[in-house]
């Protein structure tokens, strides 16, 4: 592969749509330096000024919606409706949330010290921007994962340099152009294009890295970041389980399952990737899911379709090989199970697999494709045990009419978020922290944690009384040395006799 340039191809037609230059290490260093200069001014702006720019950006995104949809569908192969229904819908809401709530999330917090002698000090915890944030992004949501991730970083007073995926660089570039039009200062939000090496150069220079991508790359990024101890947040892959109990509303569960597994062709970190259903309702649930999946319309974005092509050829190969392996090991495809014939692009048919088990990679490795493997389980406990039998811990779904049981399972699921009687929603609540456990990463996007990660938390302690001397200061006299154990006993011992003795000791001097 020629890594001097990026050739962008439409996944739906395989036609070339752009050829772009790659940013070299020196270009990345220069971009970070430019960002650093403008950040020194930006950090002094008020939250209200930043919020106003965000609102202008939102209006322009809406004004340019059709153009954005052209670019996004061309480079991802997704249906047009999804661009509005997921990317723009999410971004517009997230902008409103960050614009309104950032000041509150980052307002200085007065802290009351526990130790009585420190009560004479004023203690305040504050949040200072880190400087230049490097955002390294995947291809599955080319605008949400780039511009969307930049919103809290900018609101916190940072500059941002984005390294989008080499498969989908056009949306991020367009997003940055719109931000400039909205009035964000020049070089505050920059995009550098390239492959892994460009990402590594960003890790060499930025003040923090926000990485979203696969577990394997995440581990490489972490090793690289360790060289400079650059702060890092990692939003990585998932293998999200769905549990359906026998008292669930099966129609809702089947609808949520198909939506949660197939939206964006299953290329979502929080896609439902394995389903565990209690035995008494297993067959009925499977029938409902198969009926819905057979009705899914797949094709190029000009047609009235539900799902499009897969964005990455490599991912398509991975999906096909997981399904082939499962079929070879005894699984059955009730619908799909193959690439879509007669279309030139990266199409894989939406697929329902049964007779699957944890000896198959389709049940243990991230699939990131339109595949729904369903397993029959004895009861809720077996479902939970199998759901937790995974190296991933991103999100999951529980379906039951019994609120207590659903809540118990939600608490027991080893994941960063859970939906009860719903799917995919945890990702879009911009006000609630969302992150992964186990190998799905660490750190959070959204909510207070999602903006505080872009800050250096700084505690400021202020003396209030201005005494000429403080007790522990030099010189350490014999008298002070004798008084210290008494003082400690007086303040900390739980026995009144000891306190009383300490008080007498102190009074004796």
Q: Can you tell me whether residue 257 is helix, strand or coil?
A: helix
Residue 449 is a catalytic residue: no
Least distance from C-beta 203 to ligand NAD, angstroms? 6
Question: Pattern 149-188, binding to ligand NAD, x per CB under 6 A?
Answer: --------------x-xx----------------------
* Contacts within 8 Å (CB) and 24+ apart, 62-66: 62/88, 62/92, 64/174, 64/178
User: What binding mask, one character per residue, do residues 222-261 give for ligand NAD by CB under 6 A, x or -?
Assistant: -------------xxxx-----------------------
Least distance to ligand NAD, CB of residue 490, Å: 51
Q: Which is nearer to ligand NAD, 165 or 489 (CB)?
A: 165
Question: Which 380-399 positions form the footprint of ligand NAD (CB under 6 A)?
Answer: 394
Q: Which of 217, 390, 397, 489 lies at the binding interface for ligand NAD (CB under 6 A)?
A: 217
End-to-end CA distance of the chain: 81
Q: Closer to ligand NAD at the Cβ: 237 or 300?
A: 237
Size of the site for ligand NAD (CB under 6 A): 29
Q: Which one of 150-158, 215-223, 374-382, 399-407 is the stretch in contact with ligand NAD (CB under 6 A)? A: 215-223
Helix locations, 113-187, DSSP H: 149-155, 169-182
How many other β-carbons are positioned within 10 Å of the β-carbon of residue 128? 13
Q: Which one among 105, 127, 368, 444 touches ligand NAD, defined by CB under 6 A?
A: 368
Three-state SS at 442: strand
Contact mark string toward ligand NAD, 303..342, x via CB under 6 A: ----------------------------------------
Exposed e or buried b for every residue in 382-414, given b needs 16+ CB within 10 A? bbbebbeebebbbbbbbbbeeeeebeebbebbb
By CB under 6 A, name the one of 139, 184, 285, 399 that touches ligand NAD. 139
Max Cα-Cα span within the chain: 97
* Dihedral angle computed from the Cα positions of residues 299, 300, 304 and 310, in that order, rounded to the nearest 10 degrees: 60
Q: Residue 2 and residue 21: Cα distance in Å, rounded?
A: 11
Contacts of ligand NAD in 422-461 (CB under 6 A)? 436, 441
Of the candidates 157, 156, 154, 198, the one whose C-alpha atom is nearest the C-alpha of residue 176 is 154
Q: How many residues belong to the chain? A: 509
DSSP strands (E only) in 232-290: 232-235, 240-244, 272-278
Q: Does 196 bind ligand NAD (CB under 6 A)?
A: yes
User: Pick the catalytic residue: 75, 166, 200, 235?
Assistant: 235
Q: 361 Cβ partners below 8 Å, 6+ apart?
A: 322, 325, 326
What CA–CA distance (Å, rounded) separates 296 from 305? 8
- Which residue, 369 or 436, is less far from ligand NAD as judged by CB? 436
Element (H or E) spanning 201, and its range? helix 196-205
269 is catalytic: yes
Minimum distance from residue 166 beta carbon to ligand NAD (Å): 5
Candidate segments 60-68, 210-218, 355-363, 465-473, binder of ligand NAD by CB under 6 A: 210-218
Omega cis (within 30) before 284: no
Six-digit token string for 268: 């979502």
Q: Least Å distance between CB 4 and ligand NAD?
A: 15
- Residue with Cβ nearer ligand NAD (209 or 248): 209
In whole angstroms, the minimum distance from the beta carbon of 318 to ligand NAD comes to 10
Q: Which of 73, 86, 137, 246 binds ligand NAD (CB under 6 A)?
A: 137
Rounded-to-integer distance, Cα 392 and Cα 273, Å: 11
* Closest CB to ligand NAD among residues 98, 368: 368
Kindly list the residues in this chain that would bind ligand NAD in the complex (CB under 6 A): 136-140, 145, 163, 165-166, 195-196, 199-200, 212-214, 217, 220-221, 235-238, 269, 366, 368, 394, 436, 441
Task: Give the catalytic positions in this structure.
Answer: 235, 269
């Amino acid at each position: 592969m020629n890594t001097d340039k990026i050739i962008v191809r439409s996944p739906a037609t395989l036609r070339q749509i752009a050829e772009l230059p790659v940013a070299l290490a020196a270009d990345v260093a220069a971009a970070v330096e430019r960002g650093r200069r403008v950040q020194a001014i930006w950090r002094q702006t008020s939250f209200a000024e930043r919020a106003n720019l965000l609102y202008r950006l939102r209006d322009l995104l809406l004004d340019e919606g059709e153009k954005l949809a052209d670019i996004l569908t061309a480079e991802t192969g997704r249906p047009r409706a999804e661009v509005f229904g997921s990317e723009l819908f999410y971004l517009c809401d997230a902008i409103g949330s960050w614009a309104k709530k950032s000041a509150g999330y980052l307002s200085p917090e007065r802290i009351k010290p526990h130790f009585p002698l420190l009560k004479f000090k004023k203690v305040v915890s504050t949040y200072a921007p880190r400087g230049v944030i490097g955002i390294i992004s995947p291809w599955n949501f080319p605008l949400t994962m780039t511009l969307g991730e930049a919103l809290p970083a900018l609101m916190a007073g940072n500059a941002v340099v984005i390294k989008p995926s080499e498969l989908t660089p056009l949306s991020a570039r367009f997003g940055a152009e719109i931000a400039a039009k909205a009035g964000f200062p020049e070089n505050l939000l920059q995009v550098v294009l390239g492959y892994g090496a460009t990402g590594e150069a960003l890790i060499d220079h930025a003040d923090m890295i926000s990485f979203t991508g696969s577990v394997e790359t995440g581990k490489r990024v972490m090793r690289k970041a360790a060289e400079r101890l650059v702060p890092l947040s990692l939003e990585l892959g998932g293998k999200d389980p769905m549990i359906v109990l026998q008292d669930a509303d099966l129609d809702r569960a089947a609808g949520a399952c198909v939506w949660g597994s197939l939206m964006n062709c299953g290329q979502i970190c929080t896609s439902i990737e394995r389903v565990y259903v209690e035995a008494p309702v297993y067959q009925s649930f499977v029938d409902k899911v198969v009926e819905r999946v057979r009705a899914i319309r797949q094709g190029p974005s000009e047609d009235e379709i539900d799902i499009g092509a897969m964005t990455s050829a490599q991912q398509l190969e991975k999906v096909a090989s997981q399904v082939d392996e499962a079929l070879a090991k005894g699984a059955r495809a009730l619908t799909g199970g193959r690439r879509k014939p007669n279309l030139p692009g990266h199409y894989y048919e939406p697929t329902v697999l049964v007779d699957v088990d944890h000896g198959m990679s389709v049940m243990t490795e991230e699939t990131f494709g339109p595949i729904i493997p369903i397993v029959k389980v004895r009861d809720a406990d077996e479902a939970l045990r199998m759901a937790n039998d995974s190296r991933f811990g991103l999100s999951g779904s529980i379906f039951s009419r019994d609120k207590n049981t659903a809540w118990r399972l939600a608490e027991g699921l080893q994941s960063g978020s859970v939906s009860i009687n719903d799917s995919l929603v945890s990702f879009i609540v911009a006000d609630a922290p969302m992150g992964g456990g186990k190998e799905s990463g660490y750190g959070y996007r959204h909510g207070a944690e999602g903006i505080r990660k872009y800050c250096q938390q700084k505690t400021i302690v202020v003396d209030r009384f201005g005494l000429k001397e403080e007790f522990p200061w030099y010189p350490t006299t014999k008298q002070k040395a004798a008084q210290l154990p008494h003082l400690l006993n007086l303040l900390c011992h739980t026995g009144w006799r000891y306190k009383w003795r300490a008080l007498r000791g102190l009074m004796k001097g």
